[in-house]
C-alpha cells in the first residue's frame, strides 16, 4: 500500500492527484505543521528535512515531488510519461525541470517570505523580486504552451499535473497568468482525479484536526 504524507493543498496535492489519475490504492497521513508533526522523530526518520511530500511504498521511502511522480508513472502507469528517448520525452524532461526550477521557485519564495520562514528572516522586498521572476518564467511557459489539449498534445502526462498544481498555487498567490496558461489551468482543474484527491485528503485532515 502506498502511503502519502503531507497536507491537502501543498506540494502533496500533485502526488495525490497523480495517484488518483493512476487509479491506485493509497492512504493519506495528514501532517499538522502547526502541531509540529513534521518535526516528530517518526517523520524525520522518513525525511530529515521535515518537508513534504513523502511517500512510502513497501520498503521504498521517497521524497521530492518530481522524483515521486517519476517513480509512480514508471512503476504503475507508463501512459503518463512519454517513451524514453523520444522527442516528447525530451520535451517532458524540459517541462518538469522548468516548472520546478523556474515557475515554482518564485512562488515558493513568496510563500517563504510570507509565512514559512521565521518572522525575523522574512524580507518584504522579496515579494517584488519573486513576482518579477514568476512573470518572466510564465512568459516563457506561455510560448511553449499549446492552445488546447495538454503540454505535449492530446495525452496527459505528469508534467501537466505538475504545472496544474503550480498554476493553482499561483492563483492562490494572486499572480496574473497569460492566456494560454490560464486556459490550461482551467482545463486541468476540472479533472475528476483532482477533485477526488482533494475530497479524500481534506476529509482525512478535517477528521484528524477534529480529534485534537
Range of lowest pLDDT (73-82, 97-106, 197-206)? 73-82
Indicate whether 212 pLDDT > 80.
no
| Residue of 85, 142, 80, 138 lying closest to 107 (CA atoms) | 138
Indicate whether 3 pLDDT > 90.
yes
Residue 211 banded pLDDT, cuts 50, 70, 90:
confident
Question: What pLDDT, in 10s, does the model give residues 149-161?
Answer: 999 999 999 999 9
Say what the pLDDT of residue 121 is: 96
For domain 81-191, give the CATH number: 1.20.1050.10
Length of the chain in residues, anyone? 212
- Where do the structural domains in the chain lie, given as residue ranges? 2-79+193-210, 81-191
Indicate whether 78 pLDDT > 90.
no
| Residue of 196, 5, 184, 187 lying closest to 99 (CA atoms) | 184
Range of lowest pLDDT (78-82, 124-128, 193-197)? 78-82
The chain-wide mean pLDDT, for the chain, equals 96
* 100 contacts: CB under 8 Å, gap ≥ 6: 66, 162
Question: What pLDDT, in 10s, does the model give residues 81-108?
Answer: 999 999 999 999 999 999 999 999 999 9
Say what the pLDDT of residue 26 is: 98
Say what the pLDDT of residue 141 is: 98
Q: Return the axis-axis angle of helices 179-188 and 126-144, rounded to nearest 10°.
A: 80
Indicate whether 34 pLDDT > 90.
no
Query: How far is CA 166 from each of CA 24, 36, 172, rounded to the nearest angstrom?
Result: 23, 25, 10
Question: Do residues 13 and 28 make contact, with C-beta atoms less than 8 angstroms apart?
Answer: no
Say what the pLDDT of residue 25 is: 97
Region 40-63: mean pLDDT is 96
Question: What pLDDT, in 10s, does the model give residues 163-178?
Answer: 999 999 999 999 999 9
Indicate whether 29 pLDDT > 80.
yes
The CATH class of the 2-79+193-210 domain is: alpha beta
Query: How crowded is residue 131: how many other Cβ atoms within 10 Å of its Cβ?
Result: 18
Percent of all residues in the chain with a pLDDT value above 90, rounded to a whole number: 94
Amino acid at each position: 500500500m502506498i502511503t502519502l504524507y503531507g497536507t491537502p493543498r501543498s506540494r502533496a496535492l500533485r502526488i495525490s492527484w497523480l495517484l488518483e489519475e493512476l487509479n491506485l490504492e493509497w492512504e493519506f497521513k495528514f501532517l499538522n505543521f502547526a502541531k509540529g508533526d513534521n518535526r516528530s522523530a517518526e517523520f524525520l526518520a522518513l525525511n530529515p528535512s521535515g518537508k513534504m511530500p513523502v511517500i512510502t511504498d513497501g520498503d521504498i521511502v521517497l521524497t521530492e515531488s518530481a522524483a515521486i511522480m517519476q517513480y509512480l508513472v514508471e512503476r504503475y502507469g507508463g501512459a503518463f510519461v512519454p517513451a524514453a528517448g523520444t522527442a516528447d520525452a525530451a520535451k517532458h524532461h524540459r517541462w518538469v525541470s522548468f516548472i520546478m526550477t523556474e515557475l515554482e521557485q518564485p512562488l515558493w519564495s513568496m510563500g517563504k517570505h510570507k509565512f514559512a520562514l521565521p518572522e525575523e528572516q522574512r524580507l518584504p522586498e522579496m515579494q517584488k523580486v519573486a513576482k518579477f521572476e514568476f512573470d518572466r518564467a510564465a512568459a516563457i511557459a506561455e510560448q511553449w504552451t499549446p492552445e488546447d489539449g495538454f503540454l505535449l498534445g492530446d495525452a496527459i502526462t505528469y508534467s501537466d499535473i505538475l504545472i496544474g498544481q503550480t498554476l493553482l498555487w499561483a492563483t492562490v498567490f494572486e499572480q496574473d497568468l497569460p492566456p494560454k496558461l490560464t486556459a490550461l489551468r482551467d482545463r486541468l482543474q476540472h479533472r475528476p482525479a483532482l477533485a477526488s484527491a482533494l475530497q479524500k485528503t481534506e476529509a482525512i485532515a478535517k477528521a484528524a484536526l477534529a480529534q485534537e
